[in-house]
Chain A
Amino acid sequence: MSEIKQVYLDNNATCMVSPGVRDAMLPFFGELYGNPSSMHNFGGQVAVHVKAAREKVAALLNVSPDEIVFTSCGTESDNHAIRGVLEANSEKRHIVTTKVEHPAVLNVYRFLAKKKGYRVTELEVSKKGDLDLDQLREALTPDTAILSVMAANNETGTLFPIDEIGAIAREKGVIFHTDAVQAVGKIPLDLKKIQCDLLSLSGHKLHTPKGIGALYIRKGTRISPFMIGGHQENGRRAGTENVPYVVALGKACEEAMNDIFDENNRVRKLRDKLEQGLLSVIKQAHINGNPRWRLPNTTNIGFEAVEGEAILLHLSAAGIAASSGSACTSGSLEPSHVLMAMQTPFSYAHGSVRFSLSKFTTEEEIDYTLKVVPPVIQKLREMSPFYDPNK
């Protein structure tokens, strides 16, 4: 094997802070320390940057800046959207979501079902991870307070048709929330065309440091504030703004707007090269998710007869970072809820590995990965009682 490199292919978990974002933040750890709410120049000169950041986030989604609320992370955005809507629409007791949502959504709903008696419908997905829109339409009733459907799945990259889903929700008069943490910046999202009422996004999937997110709230949406206190964020999310990180998110959204073409062309080609390269050399391997409707940066491959944690640790020893939906890596004993909802066979559910690229991924890194992965799978298969090379 050639010399060990560091190859980061776990960008759906978190990604590198872009140098442009880091530079944009630095003055706010120095002379620009004012409170944007203050009535003096220390604050005023900072408020300008908060305003500009809000405009950049809004521009990426094609919405109005006053529809953007800064939060501390994607999970806060999801919690704010869900609990805020339920509180403001307390006469309604039904919720519709999918079985494959991120825990930041799914566990909130399961908590509400358990502790607050809400009726929650979790929509099933097909073996490719797709939703049945007729089923979704039928699930929405006059008692439905909110519909939460993610834009892109974090594990498989499978995209849900949130434009069609938004139209159905609008027709049925149900508030529609989408967790777009994985989708923002990777695929174009024009909220003038997509009729969602609430959209969650997270900075650190967009090359900011961890600790910043945003929630889009369409004008007129009935929602209660999440944190109560001062008048920040128009009273919808009190607390002094995390200025350096707000600025970082603005810069990251500006960069994403410029890079989205690269993401959907160069990065997509690299992802396809990696995927095709692995599948052509490694037999008994399968793509998890819908290969036609997918984020351009993600591939999730299930290798038969081997276990994910063992794969990841061997890859890590070779400098490659990826992740797995296998039981052992998550600390639970069952494969991920997403793979289980897709009825992924056990023969490769435990051996599923997600590779997620970013705009910083290079062709050289993909070539290196293509050299490293096949012998790792081979080594583990050679010791597996379930591997039959002649199958």
Chain B
Amino acid sequence: MWDYTKSVMDHFSNPRNVGKIENANGVGEVGSLACGDALKLYLKINPASGKIEDARFQTFGCASAIASASALTEMVKGMSLEEAMKITNDDIARFLGGLPEQKMHCSVMGKEALEAAIANFKGEKVEEHQDAQVVCKCFWVDEEKIRHQIREHKLTTVEEVTHYTKAGGGCGGCIPDIKRILDEEAGKAAEPKEPPAMTNLQRIKLVTSTIETKIAPMLRNDGGDIELIDVDGVDVYVKLRGACAGCPGARATLHNIVQETLRAEVDRKITIIEVK
């Protein structure tokens, strides 16, 4: 059982400010059913004074998600927008007497819903995730969020990144990317190596050995496997097997593990094509 504080249990059992505000002028929504938690925050902001007059929420999630949302609404009521924008996820956690580390992402969700609601009030468009920036495709977490949490909380391990952002907590396909981002943030960005020009035959040999020695063992780790079907120039045709075939994260696996490894090891121009 989680070691929740009395305050978390109180806000979970008797959540404050549950529900919608019909004439809300700032609404922020984060999370999804697939992710396992979601929060919709409604703010009623006085346009003249900039004060938050009322705050309510709807949430789908565990006890700490409910408690974080309840705490957040209590905190922001009566605040000016400037004050509210200074609230951090740590403030939410502190208001509750702390959260288990694995649950810190619940407080991050509160902070994000607040940002989204204020942006909505100001008429700012919330930036859509660009496909290319999304690192964790299971929980749809982009690189910017990961970097932000690493800097704010001085995170140094993948596990910590998962606690704060959920990234890497699903299929695990993005763990190499998270490691890279951690390295980059720590200033240890590896210098990309200039690959030597190679013949077709050399390329095929290198693709084959990279799949056998580097990629397949990673996939077997999760009960999956991969078969090399063909190499045509820089197009590599593969078939996913075992647990990988039919895994909802298969697309991410192909992109993150297979393609990125081959690009790093063989040729930056390589494209992976899945044969069904």
A residues apposed to B, CB below 8 Å: 99, 106, 109-110, 113-114, 119-122, 124, 305-310, 313-314, 317, 326-329, 331-335, 346-347, 350, 382-386
Q: How far is the CA of A310 from the CA of B166 in the complex (A)?
A: 19
**Chain B proximity of A139: nearest CB distance (Å):** 11
Q: How far is the CA of A113 from the CA of B218 in the complex (A)?
A: 10
A384:B58 contact, CB within 8 angstroms: yes
Return chain B residues, CB-CB under 8 Å to A119: 225
A122:B61 contact, CB within 8 angstroms: no
**Chain A proximity of B63: nearest CB distance (Å):** 5
Q: How far is the CA of A326 from the CA of B170 in the complex (A)?
A: 13
Interface string of B1-33 (1 = CB under 8 A from A): 010000001001101001100000000010001
User: Would you mind naming 6 contact pairs between A and B with Cβ atoms under 8 Å apart?
Assistant: A109-B223, A110-B221, A110-B223, A305-B33, A328-B37, A332-B169
Q: Is B66 an interface residue (CB 8 A)?
A: yes
Return chain A residues, CB-CB under 8 Å to B144: none
Q: How far is the CA of A382 from the CA of B15 in the complex (A)?
A: 12
- Sorted nearest first, the 4 A-B pairs with minimum C-beta distance are A333-B169, A328-B62, A309-B62, A385-B58
For window 137-170 of B, CB contacts with A under 8 Å fall at: 138-139, 162, 166, 169-170
Q: How far is the CA of A386 from the CA of B33 in the complex (A)?
A: 8
Q: How far is the CA of A314 from the CA of B18 in the complex (A)?
A: 17
Q: Is B180 an interface residue (CB 8 A)?
A: no
Interface of B is mostly: mixed
Q: How far is the CA of A3 from the CA of B200 in the complex (A)?
A: 77
**Chain A proximity of B1: nearest CB distance (Å):** 8
B242:A306 contact, CB within 8 angstroms: no
B34:A346 contact, CB within 8 angstroms: yes
B59:A385 contact, CB within 8 angstroms: yes
**Chain B proximity of A111: nearest CB distance (Å):** 9
B33:A347 contact, CB within 8 angstroms: yes
Q: Is B217 an interface residue (CB 8 A)?
A: yes
A124:B36 contact, CB within 8 angstroms: no
Q: How far is the CA of A328 from the CA of B63 in the complex (A)?
A: 9
A310:B242 contact, CB within 8 angstroms: no
Q: Which residue of B lies closest to A340 (CB)?
A: B248
B12:A384 contact, CB within 8 angstroms: no
Q: Which residue of B lies closest to A121 (CB)?
A: B242
Interface string of B239-255 (1 = CB under 8 A from A): 00011001000000000
**Chain B proximity of A98: nearest CB distance (Å):** 11
Q: Which of B18, B60, B170 neighbours the largest number of chain A CB atoms within 10 Å of its CB?
A: B60
**Chain B proximity of A97: nearest CB distance (Å):** 9
Using A328-B61, A385-B29, A386-B60 as known contacts, say yes or no to A307 and B217 having CB atoms under 8 A apart. Answer: no
B58:A307 contact, CB within 8 angstroms: no
**Chain A proximity of B62: nearest CB distance (Å):** 4
B38 in complex: contacting residue of A109, A110, A308, A385, CB < 8 Å: A385
Q: How far is the CA of A113 from the CA of B36 in the complex (A)?
A: 30
A120:B62 contact, CB within 8 angstroms: no
Return chain A residues, CB-CB under 8 Å to B18: 382-383
Number of interface residues of B (CB under 8 A): 41
Q: How far is the CA of A329 from the CA of B102 in the complex (A)?
A: 11
B60 in complex: contacting residue of A106, A110, A305, CB < 8 Å: A305
Q: Which residue of B lies closest to A99 (CB)?
A: B243
For window 91-129 of B, CB contacts with A under 8 Å fall at: 102-103
A113:B170 contact, CB within 8 angstroms: no
Q: How far is the CA of A314 from the CA of B66 in the complex (A)?
A: 12
A114:B66 contact, CB within 8 angstroms: no
Q: Is B65 an interface residue (CB 8 A)?
A: yes
**Chain B proximity of A39: nearest CB distance (Å):** 49
A327:B63 contact, CB within 8 angstroms: no
Q: How far is the CA of A114 from the CA of B217 in the complex (A)?
A: 6
B36:A122 contact, CB within 8 angstroms: no
Return chain A residues, CB-CB under 8 Å to B242: 120-122
Return chain A residues, CB-CB under 8 Å to B65: 307, 310
A333:B162 contact, CB within 8 angstroms: yes
B223:A122 contact, CB within 8 angstroms: yes
Q: Which residue of A lies closest to B61 (CB)?
A: A307
Q: How far is the CA of A331 from the CA of B102 in the complex (A)?
A: 7
B220 in complex: contacting residue of A113, A310, A327, A386, CB < 8 Å: A113
Q: How far is the CA of A382 from the CA of B162 in the complex (A)?
A: 29
**Chain B proximity of A192: nearest CB distance (Å):** 34
B243:A350 contact, CB within 8 angstroms: no
Q: Which residue of B lies closest to A335 (CB)?
A: B36
**Chain B proximity of A268: nearest CB distance (Å):** 30
Q: Is B44 an interface residue (CB 8 A)?
A: no
A334:B60 contact, CB within 8 angstroms: no
B138:A334 contact, CB within 8 angstroms: yes
Return chain B residues, CB-CB under 8 Å to A331: 102
Q: How far is the CA of A331 from the CA of B65 in the complex (A)?
A: 14
Q: How far is the CA of A314 from the CA of B12 in the complex (A)?
A: 9
**Chain B proximity of A8: nearest CB distance (Å):** 15
Q: How far is the CA of A329 from the CA of B103 in the complex (A)?
A: 11
Q: How far is the CA of A109 from the CA of B243 in the complex (A)?
A: 13
A334:B61 contact, CB within 8 angstroms: no
Q: How far is the CA of A314 from the CA of B14 in the complex (A)?
A: 11
Q: How far is the CA of A227 from the CA of B220 in the complex (A)?
A: 28
Q: Which residue of A lies closest to B70 (CB)?
A: A383
A124 in complex: contacting residue of B62, B63, B221, B246, CB < 8 Å: B246
Q: Is B222 an interface residue (CB 8 A)?
A: yes
Q: Which of B15, B62, B63, B169 neighbours the largest number of chain A CB atoms within 10 Å of its CB?
A: B62
Q: How far is the CA of A308 from the CA of B102 in the complex (A)?
A: 17
**Chain A proximity of B85: nearest CB distance (Å):** 23
B36:A385 contact, CB within 8 angstroms: no
Return chain B residues, CB-CB under 8 Å to A326: 36, 62
Q: Which residue of B lies closest to A316 (CB)?
A: B1
**Chain B proximity of A136: nearest CB distance (Å):** 15
Using A122-B243, A310-B66 as known contacts, say yes or no to A386 and B38 having CB atoms under 8 A apart. Answer: yes
A383:B36 contact, CB within 8 angstroms: no
A383:B217 contact, CB within 8 angstroms: no
Q: Which of A122, A313, A327, A383 neighbours the largest number of chain B CB atoms within 10 Å of its CB?
A: A383
